[in-house]
Chains A and B, each alone.
Chain A
Amino acid sequence: AQSVTQLDSQVPVFEEAPVELRCNYSSSVSVYLFWYVQYPNQGLQLLLKYLSGSTLVESINGFEAEFNKSQTSFHLRKPSVHISDTAEYFCAVSEPGNKLVFGAGTILRVKS
């Protein structure tokens, strides 16, 4: 069975600073990997995904994640965060049938 570990429950960071949210997964088969974001009082939104091909994937709002098969990681990065990036971020892996296995989540708090 797959599992996902998000190493940090909370990450405080100042505005315009870089950030990395860490995610490691375990799986015995090839996987699809995802980052979802949940803004305060809102539903889950897909931020970016890795299905195949280039190991570096990007979102429209400046986040990127790199699939590293040897380290079984899919860390999320942004070179310069904004106050509006404050949210909870979930890393996930899909199982057959596309049901998602989520990590525990990382709360990103951007401070001015």
Chain B
Amino acid sequence: GAGVSQSPSNKVTEKGKDVELRCDPISGHTALYWYRQSLGQGLEFLIYFQGNSAPDKSGLPSDRFSAERTGGSVSTLTIQRTQQEDSAVYLCASSYVGGASYNEQFFGPGTRLTVL
């Protein structure tokens, strides 16, 4: 079946512009995660959605970053007033949360964001 998809695959923007990154999780997966992969910072957790619960936003680096998940499926990560340090690959992952204490996360291919 289809895996996690992300769009666009590449995004180049100018400093100060807003960008939206999209994630389509695997159908039926109730949990959705955003991570960021950048030089010097490695892979960092950003935000986590699980069902109808309030999202865990503890990894968002500033209030310029926000995310929403509509209808429990598609998620959009928005970065306002982009800065050069926002340049990174943004990864989305999803998992099915069932009775087990661990549920494997499946990663999308990522969106490479370049802020000029």
Query: In the complex, which of the residues A42, A99, A104, A105 contacts B48, with contact meaning CB atoms closer than 8 Å?
Result: A99
Q: Could you tell me the distance between the alpha carbons of A12 and B31 in the complex, rounded to whole angstroms?
A: 37
Pair A46/B104 contact, Cβ less than 8 Å? yes
B103 contacts the other chain (Cβ, under 8 Å)? yes
Q: How many A-B residue pairs have CB under 8 A?
A: 48
A63 contacts the other chain (Cβ, under 8 Å)? no
Knowing A43-B110, A100-B105, the reply to whether A105 touches B56 (Cβ < 8 A) is: no
Pair A102/B108 contact, Cβ less than 8 Å? no
- B contact residues around A43 at 8 Å (CB): 91, 107-110
B59 contacts the other chain (Cβ, under 8 Å)? yes
- A contact residues around B105 at 8 Å (CB): 46, 98, 100
For B106, give the chain A residue with the smallest CB separation. Answer: A46
Pair A51/B33 contact, Cβ less than 8 Å? no
A44 contacts the other chain (Cβ, under 8 Å)? yes
B50 contacts the other chain (Cβ, under 8 Å)? yes
Query: In the complex, which of the residues A44, A94, A102 contacts B102, with contact meaning CB atoms closer than 8 Å?
Result: A94
Q: Could you tell me the distance between the alpha carbons of A43 and B101 in the complex, rounded to whole angstroms?
A: 25
For B4, give the chain A residue with the smallest CB separation. Answer: A43
Query: In the complex, which of the residues B44, B95, B107, B108 contacts A98, with contact meaning CB atoms closer than 8 Å?
Result: B95
Question: Nearest Cβ distance between residue B76 and chain A, in whole angstroms?
Answer: 19
Knowing A43-B91, A104-B42, the reply to whether A99 touches B33 (Cβ < 8 A) is: yes
Residues of chain B from 56 to 112 with CB closer than 8 A to chain A in the complex: 56, 59, 91, 93, 95, 97, 101-105, 107-110
Question: Nearest Cβ distance between residue A92 and chain B, in whole angstroms?
Answer: 8
B binding-site residues for A, Cβ under 8 Å: 31, 33, 35, 42-45, 48, 50, 56, 59, 91, 93, 95, 97, 101-105, 107-110
List 11 interface pairs A-B (beta carbons < 8 Å), by A numbering. A43-B109, A49-B104, A97-B56, A98-B31, A98-B95, A99-B56, A99-B59, A100-B33, A100-B45, A101-B45, A102-B42
**Which 4 A/B pairs are nearest by Cβ-Cβ distance?**
A102-B43, A44-B107, A104-B42, A43-B109
A binding-site residues for B, Cβ under 8 Å: 32, 42-46, 49, 51, 90, 92, 94, 97-105
